[in-house]
């Protein structure tokens, strides 16, 4: 599948260079100033969400950036802070040069995510993408609709990632410009 260049160029821009001296909002590298990114990852207890975190850490988050783990829960969900905090501890252990914060917010998922993206001025939103619904080709699952709505409505670059099957490797990445772009990394 061909890429129009917009998504891949931005990915290269996101992963270029590591800041040496970082203050609160900016990193100074070789005499130039670069704004730090806030990378937001929407999490839940699925395996796909863990792959999205790994992908964000390895492909988007750089030294001094802030990784925000956002877990949107319903009123009945009581184990959310434990899950989010344990995932944050793993992120800190894997990439200590990236600052990690946890947000557990109650509310409708789409509206809450879009509100947090605006409120926190996220630079990049990373979502997990599951397998397409095999039920009916014409029907989308609620998670597929959620991902598509976030990609189309969020006020920042939004990337949905899905780990390829064991034999193939890499990730499928979807953006506004490109659907299921294969990234072997």
**Domain encompassing residue 124:** 6-16+34-183
Flag whether 22 is in a domain: no
Mean pLDDT of the chain: 78
Flag whether 26 is in a domain: no
* Of the candidates 127, 168, 122, the residue with the CA atom closest to the CA atom of residue 41: 127
Flag whether 134 is in a domain: yes
pLDDT digits (tens, 9 = 90+) for 117-157: 999 999 999 999 876 655 545 555 788 899 999 999 999 99
**Percentage of residues in the chain having pLDDT higher than 90:** 50
Q: Report the alpha-carbon distance of residue 47 to residue 29 in Å, rounded.
A: 36
Flag whether 1 is in a domain: no
Instruction: Give the domain CATH number at 50.
Output: 3.40.50.620
Flag whether 165 is in a domain: yes
Flag whether 25 is in a domain: no
The pTM assigned to this predicted structure is 0.76
Q: Which is it for the CA torsion 82, 88, 92, 94, positive or negative?
A: positive
Flag whether 157 is in a domain: yes
Q: Please give the pLDDT value at position 4.
A: 42
What is the domain count for the chain? 1
Flag whether 57 is in a domain: yes
């Amino acid at each position: 599948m061909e890429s129009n260049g917009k998504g891949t160029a931005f990915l290269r821009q996101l992963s270029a260079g590591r800041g040496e001296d970082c203050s609160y909002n900016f990193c100074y590298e070789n005499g130039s100033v670069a704004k730090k990114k806030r990378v937001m990852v929407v999490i839940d207890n699925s395996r796909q969400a863990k792959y999205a975190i790994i992908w964000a850490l390895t492909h988007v988050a750089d030294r001094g950036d802030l990784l925000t783990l956002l877990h949107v829960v319903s009123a009945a969900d009581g184990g959310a802070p434990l899950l989010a905090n344990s995932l944050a501890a793993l992120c800190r252990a894997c990439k200590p040069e990236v600052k990690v914060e946890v947000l557990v917010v109650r509310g409708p998922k789409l509206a809450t995510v879009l509100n947090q993206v605006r409120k926190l001025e996220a630079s990049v939103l990373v979502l997990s993408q599951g397998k397409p619904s095999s039920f009916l080709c014409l029907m989308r699952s609620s998670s597929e609709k959620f991902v598509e709505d976030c990609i189309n409505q969020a006020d920042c670059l939004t990337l949905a990632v899905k780990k390829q099957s064991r034999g193939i490797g890499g990730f499928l990445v979807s953006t506004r410009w490109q659907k299921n772009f294969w990234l072997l990394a």
